[in-house]
Chains A and B, each alone.
Chain A
């Protein structure tokens, strides 16, 4: 596609439920990143994929958060047993290689009630 796409654009869930957020990177981009942005705050790095492997998971805030990538393309970020503090915009970015320019998707706005 022309750019990074993410779905859903908005997600409202109840505390304790699991959610899955999807990212479709730019075709051919081997590197993929997930970030989180809480209301009025800066971006927090969550995880980095090179191909289907995640050599850097240092930003995942707890074991409730996991992510996978398949076919060196689509990635899914899963949050289990959601908490209210998980409410944020989750942003995905991709780049040609690890040091390439990162291009961001529009984000998924997650609200945990």
Chain B
């Protein structure tokens, strides 16, 4: 199930952009890239998802490389409230019903 690789942890200064990388070199053409985060003691929170085009919403931007083998989640101006574990998930359009959450990246925003 482990289709993604993420760094275990990262730090980011408050107010700066946080760039969280994810490798998904075995992704297939019908699989989406989803990002969730989990703030301590809360349920996972959906952030953004994409197939091949870059996406942006009020929370973040998602940059997917042209070969789709990696992506980067960008939080443009990190705040202390963005400290969380960030999960990159590859999800097929058919098949598995559940999301597979790996170990994620623990992002710590530093004042």
A65 interface residue, CB < 8 Å from B?
no
With A42-B103, A101-B49 in contact, do A107 and B43 touch (Cβ < 8 Å)?
yes
Residues from chain B with a CB closer than 8 A to the CB of A106 are 42-43
Fill in one digit per residue for A74-113: 1 if any B CB lies within 8 Å of its CB, else 0. Answer: 0000000000000000010100001101111111000000
Residues from chain A with a CB closer than 8 A to the CB of B36 are 104
Binding-face segment, B14-22, B63-71, B76-84, B93-101:
B93-101
A104 to B93, CA, bound (A): 19
With A91-B43, A106-B42 in contact, do A43 and B103 touch (Cβ < 8 Å)?
no
A101 to B91, CA, bound (A): 10
In which size bucket is the chain B interface? Answer: 10 to 19
Q: Among the listed B45, B97, B101, which residue makes an inter-chain contact with A98, where contact means beta carbons less than 8 Å apart?
A: B97
Establish whether residues B98 and A104, one from each chain, have CB atoms under 8 Å apart when the complex forms.
no
Closest to B44 in A: A104
Establish whether residues A42 and B43, one from each chain, have CB atoms under 8 Å apart when the complex forms.
no
Q: List A residues at the B interface (Cβ < 8 Å).
A: 4, 31, 33, 35, 42-43, 45, 48, 55-56, 59, 91, 93, 98-99, 101-107
4 A-B pairs with the lowest CB-CB distances in the bound complex, closest first: A45-B98, A104-B43, A48-B97, A43-B101
